[in-house]
Structure 1
């Protein structure tokens, strides 16, 4: 069993070297290794992996077949790797417990809704907390950053003179630079002035600080965001889930794609630019946003019609 554990560690190290973080996958893979160890199994078989993927448990009950499919997908990928080293390893068929995530339609915030959220945040007490959350929401809306990326920003990541942000060690271990509009720079300057007056000796190098002078914890973002939604009366459409902070990122991406269409230039050649801006591993991840808004599909269909008419 030590062999299986070592093979799993080597497999994870190899994939991390390619830029994958694999936090959830690594956790599941080591659970599979422990499952095999408990049953004294030296080789992976389809039956063994299927039993592990479908074993009862709290998460399995709440997430249903999607979680089972995700577990088996992790086992399948590892088995493909292991089969090269151990030819008796079985690889589960690709159509067995396929992991199809439920399609969650994001809430697309309008500029007016973003402004309402910022105004609600500005009414929080004390003033430093109000300014921190109001500025954070505005920055998420105009850059498409992830909440965790914004919370991890340090002083030296924000260059107000050069109008740039350095987003380091992101979800996929990448670092990227984001350019800021003059209005965003002005808002960030106002925040830094207030922050430095209210907290002249912070206990952290973070750009965004809490009322006590510490770094914001990303786990605080969703609960406070929910409070702001209640304060502004922003609700989800019937049958959809409650808006999330991450939907600000979706809203930015969709608005950018709509601008691409309105510019009249071909959209596909510009998708890699948006992918780099958002910190995606490759443009395929950005295609997800093409289906997030009916307006985007309408614009795409209109451009196809215009192209076909121009050829006739």
Structure 2
């Protein structure tokens, strides 16, 4: 069976299991293009290594390509479509430092919001009020950017204070409760939006012409905002704070607040995972980058536990 046929079957299998597999599909399509549509059993180790290694240093993307192709070959071998995998058995360590999510401080979040008017001035495609409320929602509700941009006016229930999030990362929908402050902010924003349209299917966040915001435009505006606000870190352009880090920050700030209030994290972390739309707790744990403050509070909690246990 040719590579393209096996790839099609593998993608169909994964999506039948509830995975979107979009990034993985891009890698597999690039692999098919690089290798050519020939029998999967005739693909040599050398050409596979050439595709994985690419032309630059070994990065996390090397590992991503390796894992995607490993999944493809495991699928093919299990179904008798291939006899063995041409992939290397060992994974080299990246020569480029692994990206660490950036956790914004409250002061940095304030600077970003205060600078929105500058980033959206002139001929910017996104209006100031739209971009500010988008940022507040990404942080306040811990949403993925794709989830926020897919929201319509009808998906926001201000009476019961929740969002109805559709078409999430794993093809699931969920209800996201809103805090009092965020509900008030969205209520004011939607009141202004209703002056333009009352159609429930209209996008919550849109361009000046009413069309839905695109991820590329939002990310571009955020990079400009980040530069104006002076929220930067060492490591070059590849390692600068991202828009997605607002979601990481939301999770970390929530856990810090729980620590300070003496809450039971074993009980609350599974609820946080559900709130953020994760399929299991391990996905949420990856979001909890250990900031100095989080480490200090965790150490203090353990110290209090250990002292109490000795008494």
TM-score, normalising length: structure 2? 0.85
Q: Distance in 1 between matches of 2:109 and 2:168?
A: 24
**Is residue 2:207 matched to residue 1:213?**
no
Contact 1:43 / 1:88 at 8 angstroms: preserved in 2? no
Contact 2:4 / 2:37 at 8 angstroms: preserved in 1? no
Q: Distance in 1 between matches of 2:199 and 2:208?
A: 10
Q: For residue 169 of structure 1, what is the aligned residue in structure 2?
A: 167
Cα deviation for residue 140 of structure 1 reads 1.4
Cα deviation for residue 36 of structure 1 reads 4.7
Which deviates more, 214-223 or 86-95?
86-95
Q: For residue 69 of structure 2, what is the aligned residue in structure 1?
A: 75
Cα deviation for residue 101 of structure 1 reads 8.2
Which deviates more, 163-172 or 40-49?
40-49
Cα deviation for residue 14 of structure 1 reads 1.7
Cα deviation for residue 98 of structure 1 reads 6.4
Q: Distance in 1 between matches of 2:193 and 2:235?
A: 41
Distance 1:14 1:269, change over 3 A: farther
Q: For residue 115 of structure 1, what is the aligned residue in structure 2?
A: 110
Secondary structure of 2:163's match? strand
Cα deviation for residue 164 of structure 1 reads 0.6
Counting matched residue pairs gives 304
CA deviation string 1:158-198 (max 9, x = no partner): 1111111111101222211111122212211211222222x
Which deviates more, 210-219 or 113-122?
113-122
Q: For residue 99 of structure 2, what is the aligned residue in structure 1?
A: 104
Q: Distance in 1 between matches of 2:40 and 2:247?
A: 45
Matches within 5 A, 1:85-164: 85-86=79-80, 88-90=83-85, 92=87, 94-97=89-92, 102-122=97-117, 124=120, 129-164=127-162
Q: For residue 9 of structure 1, what is the aligned residue in structure 2?
A: 8
Distance 1:291 1:185, change over 3 A: closer
Normalized per residue, which structure has more helix?
1
Contact 1:72 / 1:97 at 8 angstroms: preserved in 2? no
**Is residue 2:275 matched to residue 1:255?**
no
CA deviation string 1:221-249 (max 9, x = no partner): 122122222333x3224447322211211
Matches within 5 A, 1:236-275: 236-239=232-235, 241-275=239-273
Q: Distance in 2 between matches of 1:273 and 1:183?
A: 21
Distance 1:100 1:144, change over 3 A: farther
Q: For residue 27 of structure 1, what is the aligned residue in structure 2?
A: 26
Q: For residue 42 of structure 1, what is the aligned residue in structure 2?
A: 41
Q: Distance in 2 between matches of 1:271 and 1:101?
A: 32
TM-score, normalising length: structure 1? 0.84
Contact 1:114 / 1:141 at 8 angstroms: preserved in 2? no
CA deviation string 1:87-125 (max 9, x = no partner): 622364542446798432333223333233223324645
Q: RMSD of the TM alignment (CA)?
A: 3.0
Q: Distance in 2 between matches of 1:38 and 1:12?
A: 16
Q: Distance in 1 between matches of 2:218 and 2:104?
A: 17
Q: For residue 188 of structure 1, what is the aligned residue in structure 2?
A: 186
Q: Distance in 2 between matches of 1:262 and 1:219?
A: 37
